[in-house]
Structure 1
Amino acid sequence: MLEPDAAQMCNPERLAPWMDQHVPEAGNGPIQATILTGGATNIVMRIERGGIPVVLRRPPLTPRPDSAKVLSREARVLSALNGTGVPAPRFYAACETQDVIGAPFYLMENIVGWLALGEKTLPDAFKPAEIRRQMPFALIGGIARLSTVDYKAVGLEGFGKPDGFLERQVDRWLHQHASYAESEGYGYRPLPHKDEVVSWLRANTPAMPRAGIIHGDYGWPNALMAPDLPVRLAAMIDWELSTIGDPLIDLGWLMYSVPSERSAVEPPKLFQDPAYPKREELVDHYAAVSGRPVAHLTYYMILAQFKLAMLLERHYARGLNGRLPRDKGEEMGALVLELLRSAAEMGREHDGQPIKMRT
């Protein structure tokens, strides 16, 4: 039986004949649709017809101006990754018009797995410390394998603009921050260390290594772990920010918050299981799997924190204007300051300057 909202979002009478033609392996029975997630970005539904279950991804009922473009890019990158060995859902088919369900959509593999979002989400088999220690290696392995894919060979030439990619990053995120004046009515606030971080990034932008596919938002919330042992990554999900550029961007995004054996900088206070390996061991694993040398890691970690700070400042602004609860905005605002503090200290440590030890 269809949930009423599910029927509105997938138009089963028109979807069924479309699936008969494009995804016959899903079966030919009546459509059973279950909403898995639904929000401001995308709606995700499981579709069952007696064959293999599939997942439908479509824009929300009130789409953003770029919803169709974003969905099309997701479908394109997932299609390109079919058969590459990268742990991603298999892509089946896409419809770029509104003719079938009233919105563009695509169908992909239904992955069975779980999200490691903290101690409370751990299945019993994964609770021993020696098992938990293996999980970050599986996480890192996803982007390491992704970085080995020749994006041109899989049809993604033109998917991004790798030339000048790193040189554009600081201005890209400064522009994002500046946009909140219009979108959120934000009058700005002093952000200690922001100018210092910007200056450091501009002065230390490395030459970009071989371009590759970037996930763009990779971490535990977008990594489905296989449901049974041994520990392994079932699929990298939510590809809406993927592009072509420097794959070490994804590594920096994961590594800035991981404690280090060699650095005195205290990372931002994000969840870190004490059983997890230190940063250096995970970076070595990335290098071994990817075959890429990991140079200038400090730059990528500082850039990741700067980018996230500029993104999260929007949540602080929304707490002020009432679009988010005030306490949530304040929480995000405090994290912005922590990210910029950590980024600045990483830059100083890299340059041989003393940093203030925190107690």
Structure 2
Amino acid sequence: MSAPFQPEERERLDAWLQANIPALGEGVLKTESVSGGTSNIVVRLARENGLRPLILRKAPDRAPPASEKAIQREATVLKALTGSRVPHPGFHGFCDDNAILGGPFYVMDQVDGWAADLSPVTDQMSYKPDFTGPDLHYLGYAMIDGIVEMANLDYLAAGLETFGKPDRFLERQVERWRGQLDSYPQRYPGYEKRDLPGLAYVSDWLNANIPGTGRPGLMHGDYAMNNVMFANRPPARLAAIIDWETATIGDPMLDLAAYAGQLRRRDGVQPARPYLDTALFPYFEDAVDYFGEKTGRDVSAIDYYLVLQKFRMACIIEYKVAEAAVGIAPPEKGKRFDNFVRVLLGEAEALARAAA
């Protein structure tokens, strides 16, 4: 893999790290790319006389402005989580001086753990071989534990009072995501807005059935088994929740729906295309009740959140269909995500009609 920084960048970074990140230790700076490309650039930092390596994250070169804002949001939430029960990488510092590396970046702990991998071919999660049988089953509860800790966090005491807009959070969701969907023809000239089956019914149902049981809390926004790190050895437990760029102060029940919506149900509408083998994981009802017991939250409206989460994801990933329509992405990718969009809206409509 190519060197992550040019010599002059490396020199500026070295000086900034010496002044701001004492945990890295002393000696010659070593940098190693962990990942890069269109997603965030991740670089392992180490010094010859250092005690442990750390991780630097920044937006890729020539990234959209929103990517740099996402890096700042990640740094903000990780700093706020210091000392909390929410599993997270330890935070060491944030730099918004673009003269150092051309964009903002932050430094965090390297997490000792593993993440599940979502195959782009089979659309299924794969896991570390050590986790089989009951250990794999309890990964499902470990995932719920992470949402529990986020939901139970006193976000005001953590300094996150301005991190999101919790007032009327649910009331704003349909307009928010329909607005994003409507923006794609302007963002991708040549793409024409589609008449998606179920979209109108689901939108109307969501607006007409907003529950009054939610209370604000920290939510991740993209909570899945490939966005957490599990401890390397059983018993199943989270080492850290990662990739916080979509985090906000909203309704943690939406994170619960994002994960638990993949689980088999004893009754009701089953997930059409779950990304995990549902026979190996807890029942949906058990996972939801577990969350309710651990947080004291009313989970009776969970089906509303399932519908909202599927609607939200359909609106978001339609951009991948748009990219294929204008030639940015291959046609095969467009067909794949067109199917995802339709499945999500179909599931959302079926859940909404069953609850009507």
**Taking structure 1 as the reference length, what is the TM-score of the superposition?**
0.92
The one of 267, 272, 281 equivalent to 1:268 is: 272
CA offset at residue 208 of structure 1? 5.3
CA 140–9 in structure 1, closer or farther in 2 if over 3 Å, else same: farther
2-side partners of 1:313 and 1:250: how far apart? 20
The one of 298, 322, 338 equivalent to 1:317 is: 322
> Which stretch shifts more, 297-306 or 280-289?
280-289
1-side partners of 2:304 and 2:7: how far apart? 43
The one of 345, 350, 353 equivalent to 1:348 is: 353
The one of 131, 135, 160 equivalent to 2:139 is: 135
CA offset at residue 79 of structure 1? 0.2
CA offset at residue 120 of structure 1? 7.7
Q: List runs of 5+ in structure 1 lacking aligned partners.
A: 352-359
* Number of the residue aligned with 1:17: 15
Q: Residue 114 of structure 1 aligns to a residue in which SS?
A: coil
1-side partners of 2:309 and 2:129: how far apart? 33
Would you say 1:81 and 2:81 are equivalent positions?
yes
1-side partners of 2:37 and 2:296: how far apart? 38
CA offset at residue 255 of structure 1? 2.0
Deviation sequence 1:223-253 (CA, Å, 0-9, x none): 1111112111111100001111111111111
The one of 301, 309, 312 equivalent to 2:306 is: 301
* Number of the residue aligned with 1:172: 176
> Which stretch shifts more, 206-215 or 273-282?
206-215
* Number of the residue aligned with 2:245: 240
The one of 183, 195, 198 equivalent to 1:193 is: 198
2-side partners of 1:171 and 1:193: how far apart? 16
- Tell me if structure 1 keeps the 8 A contact 2:169–2:250: yes
CA 111–9 in structure 1, closer or farther in 2 if over 3 Å, else same: farther
- Tell me if structure 2 keeps the 8 A contact 1:148–1:212: yes
* Number of the residue aligned with 1:357: none
> Which stretch shifts more, 88-97 or 281-290?
281-290
Letter aligned with residue 192 of structure 1: P
> Which stretch shifts more, 4-13 or 179-188?
4-13
2-side partners of 1:163 and 1:69: how far apart? 22
* Number of the residue aligned with 1:5: 3
- Tell me if structure 2 keeps the 8 A contact 1:35–1:46: yes
2-side partners of 1:12 and 1:271: how far apart? 40
* Number of the residue aligned with 2:186: 182
CA 96–208 in structure 1, closer or farther in 2 if over 3 Å, else same: farther
The one of 17, 38, 41 equivalent to 1:40 is: 38
- Tell me if structure 2 keeps the 8 A contact 1:16–1:28: no
2-side partners of 1:10 and 1:123: how far apart? 39
5 Å-filtered alignment, 1:24-173, equals: 24-49=22-47, 50-117=50-117, 121-126=126-131, 128-173=132-177
* Number of the residue aligned with 2:225: 220
Q: How many residues align?
A: 347
Q: List runs of 5+ in structure 2 lacking aligned partners.
A: 119-123
Q: Residue 136 of structure 1 aligns to a residue in which SS?
A: helix
- Tell me if structure 1 keeps the 8 A contact 2:214–2:298: no
Letter aligned with residue 182 of structure 2: A
Q: Residue 125 of structure 1 aligns to a residue in which SS?
A: coil
2-side partners of 1:15 and 1:246: how far apart? 38
CA offset at residue 10 of structure 1? 8.9
- Tell me if structure 1 keeps the 8 A contact 2:54–2:107: yes
**Taking structure 2 as the reference length, what is the TM-score of the superposition?**
0.93
Q: Residue 226 of structure 2 aligns to a residue in which SS?
A: helix
Q: Percent identity?
A: 38
Q: Residue 92 of structure 1 aligns to a residue in which SS?
A: strand
- Tell me if structure 1 keeps the 8 A contact 2:197–2:346: yes
- Tell me if structure 2 keeps the 8 A contact 1:115–1:220: yes
2-side partners of 1:55 and 1:163: how far apart? 35
CA offset at residue 96 of structure 1? 1.0
1-side partners of 2:188 and 2:264: how far apart? 35
Q: Residue 201 of structure 1 aligns to a residue in which SS?
A: helix
Letter aligned with residue 323 of structure 1: I
**RMSD value over aligned CA atoms?**
1.7
- Tell me if structure 2 keeps the 8 A contact 1:35–1:44: yes
* Number of the residue aligned with 2:121: none
CA 89–172 in structure 1, closer or farther in 2 if over 3 Å, else same: same
Would you say 1:331 and 2:336 are equivalent positions?
yes
- Tell me if structure 1 keeps the 8 A contact 2:125–2:275: no
Q: Residue 230 of structure 1 aligns to a residue in which SS?
A: coil
- Tell me if structure 2 keeps the 8 A contact 1:177–1:310: yes
- Tell me if structure 1 keeps the 8 A contact 2:141–2:287: yes
CA 303–37 in structure 1, closer or farther in 2 if over 3 Å, else same: same
Deviation sequence 1:156-184 (CA, Å, 0-9, x none): 11111111111110011001111111111
* Number of the residue aligned with 1:355: none
CA offset at residue 87 of structure 1? 0.4
CA 188–10 in structure 1, closer or farther in 2 if over 3 Å, else same: farther
CA 123–69 in structure 1, closer or farther in 2 if over 3 Å, else same: closer
2-side partners of 1:208 and 1:216: how far apart? 19
